[in-house]
Structure formats: C-alpha cells, structure tokens
Amino acid sequence: SQQGEEDPQALSIQEGENATMNCSYKTSINNLQWYRQNSGRGLVHLILIRSNEREKHSGRLRVTLDTSKKSSSLLITASRAADTASYFCATVGSGGSNYKLTFGKGTLLTVNP
Amino acid sequence: NAGVTQTPKFQVLKTGQSMTLQCAQDMNHNSMYWYRQDPGMGLRLIYYSASEGTTDKGEVPNGYNVSRLNKREFSLRLESAAPSQTSVYFCASSVLAGGLNTGELFFGEGSRLTVL
C-alpha cells in the first residue's frame, strides 16, 4: 500500500506564482524524499529531508517536515513553465525494511506561461 | 556516465508470451529496484535487490521474477504475460550505507510494455 499521499492530485498555476504540494504518510520514517517526473521520462531526485530536520532549501525549492503530523510540503517559488511535471514524495521507513522507498501517487503541476 | 540504462524502451507482447527487461547501472551502487507505474497508482515496488546476491519481493511481485546477475545488472522477467501487466516499468539504483537507504534513487527512462 502507498505510504505517502500527495495533495492536491493536480495543480495549475501561472508562471511566477508559487506552488505548494503536500505529502502525508502513515508510519515512522527515517527520511522523506521528493522526486520530479517529466512526461514520458524517469524520476529525478530533488531533495531529501531527514526525520530530525524541519526545513530544507535547495535553490527555488523549500521542503518542510512535521513528524508529529506525519506530513511534508514542497514549495516551488517563482515557478516557470519548465517546472511542469509530476512531483512525488517517497519515504524510507525507520524500521523493518528500511532500505526501500515507498512512493505516493504524485501531484501533477502545470505552470502556464 | 550513462547512469541507469533499461532495455527495451518499448515492447508489445501477446498474452502468455515471456520476456525479460534488462537494467544496468554504472554507478557502482549496491541496491537495485524494479517499479511499475500505472495511471492513478503511482509507483509500486515489484522486487528489489539490497545488495549483490540478494533479492526480495516488494509490494506487487506476483507474475514476475528477477535476477541480480552481478553488481551492475538486475533483470525482470515476465514468464507468462497478462494484460494486467501492461505498464511502464522503471529500474532504479541507490547507494546503501549501513543497511539504510539514506540517499537518492537514480532511475532509468522506463520500459513501456503493452500486453494484448
């Protein structure tokens, strides 16, 4: 079963606006990762946040993690048409099979020029 | 660096036929994975190999077999294809440090399989 669930399923914004996607998960994690997938391509890693971190930045990306609420958010600032893609969160569990990632169903982001 | 290479990129099979999807990585990664991606279902793990010589079932292993041929190569075999196996298949690899996946997965470009 999916561990992470992204919200919303689809998001459409104008170029220059900020885009926020959320991810909720069910069990304790070691880390949470965000990936991007352009249409017809493989997934590309964007950013990783560990369970003891609350916020992380990478360029125009900002990720937050709230372990008490079992949720994370990905903020893309000053979006561009080239940011149009599907975005997935993935979690690594803190026990048991802790070496495999479990992916959510993704958020489809459309940035209109 | 080629990264993760999957072959073939496209394949059409008839029900009952068999085929093998090949995957190779040139990053000296310990762990390799096969996922399938279906509309509305996200990515689901089929099988994984935490290290050379080991393989384990993921979330949806039925109808598939895998072989970790060496550290570089991890193949996925469909013995008797079914229409329900129509999907996009992704191979991925990662570094495994201390039994914990703390890093990113590197994905191939996908293999698009249609079973008629």
pLDDT digits (tens, 9 = 90+) for B18-71: 999 999 999 999 889 999 999 877 899 999 998 888 999 998 999 999 999 899
Predicted confidence at residue A99, as pLDDT, reads 61
- Write down the number of H helices and E strands in chain B: 0, 11
Predicted confidence at residue B1, as pLDDT, reads 63
CB pairs under 8 A between A and B: 65
Using CA atoms, how far apart are residues A23 and B50, in angstroms rounded to an integer? 26
Q: How far is A3 from chain B (nearest CA, A)?
A: 11
Predicted confidence at residue B50, as pLDDT, reads 85
pLDDT in tens for each of the 113 residues of chain A? 446 788 899 999 999 999 999 999 998 888 899 999 999 999 999 999 989 999 999 999 999 999 999 999 999 999 999 999 999 999 887 665 556 788 889 999 999 99
Q: Give B69-107 pLDDT, tens digit per residue.
A: 899 999 999 999 999 999 999 999 987 655 555 668 899
Predicted confidence at residue B40, as pLDDT, reads 77
* CB-count exposure of residue B73 (10 Å: 0-12, 13-18, 19+): middle
Using CA atoms, how far apart are residues B114 and B82, in angstroms rounded to an integer? 9
Residues of A in contact with B108 (CB under 8 A): 42
B50-59 long-range contacts (CB < 8 A, ≥24 apart) are B50/A99, B50/B96, B50/B99, B51/B96, B56/A97, B58/A100, B58/B33, B58/B34, B59/A1, B59/A102
The reply to whether residue B4 touches residue A42, judged by beta carbons under 8 angstroms, is: yes
Residues of B in contact with A50 (CB under 8 A): 102
Residues of A in contact with B25 (CB under 8 A): none
Both tokens assigned to B103:
């890093």
Residues of B in contact with A85 (CB under 8 A): none
Q: How far is A45 from chain B (nearest CA, A)?
A: 6
Predicted confidence at residue A1, as pLDDT, reads 45
With CA atoms as reference, report the closest residue to B94 among B104, B85, B82, B108: B104
Predicted confidence at residue A100, as pLDDT, reads 73
Using CA atoms, how far apart are residues B37 and B14, in angstroms rounded to an integer? 20
Of A41, A50, A101, the CB nearest to B105: A101
Beta bridge partners of B27: none
A17: Cβ–Cβ under 8 A, 6 or more apart, which residues? Answer: A79, A111
A96 in B contact zone (CB under 8 Å): no
Using CA atoms, how far apart are residues B114 and B116, in angstroms rounded to an integer? 6
Using CA atoms, how far apart are residues B14 and A105, in angstroms rounded to an integer? 29
Vertex A76: Cα angle to A1 and B105 (nearest 5): 45
Of B31, B42, B59, the CB nearest to A99: B31
Token pair 């570089």 is at which residue?
A: B72
